[in-house]
Amino acid sequence: MLAGGIGMTLDEAAKEFELDCKIRHLSPKTIDNYGKQLRYKYFRCPKCRVLMRTARGGGEKEMHCPQCHTSFKVKS
């Protein structure tokens, strides 16, 4: 296993997860879902609870819900 920890880069985390998947025989869908969690931040609208996502690393953003048109701020 790699060093791990909080200071890992995204590439290091992906390599460690890929190695872990080979050991545990995880499905490709599980691997793809983990990759999405590294790239996107998921959150729900505070009014209607619809699930949305935004790219990670963009700081604070103002989002608009496509369903109820509520505006709110999120940290990505």
Q: Is residue 3 part of a domain?
A: no
Q: Is residue 46 part of a domain?
A: yes
Q: Is residue 41 part of a domain?
A: yes
Q: Is residue 33 part of a domain?
A: yes
- Please tell me the pTM assigned to this model: 0.53
Which pLDDT belongs to residue 5?
55
Q: How confident is the model at residue 6 (pLDDT cuts 50, 70, 90)?
A: low
Number of domains in the chain: 1
Q: Is residue 25 part of a domain?
A: yes
Q: Is residue 43 part of a domain?
A: yes
Q: Is residue 2 part of a domain?
A: no
Range of the domain at 17: 10-75
3-state helix, strand, coil in the chain (%, to 5): 35, 25, 40
The span from the CA of 18 to the CA of 71, in Å, is 37
Q: Is residue 57 part of a domain?
A: yes
Q: Which residues contact 8 (CB under 8 A, 6 or more apart)?
A: 2, 16
**Over 90: is that where the pLDDT of 68 sits?**
yes
Mean pLDDT over 23-46 rounds to: 76
**Over 70: is that where the pLDDT of 23 sits?**
no
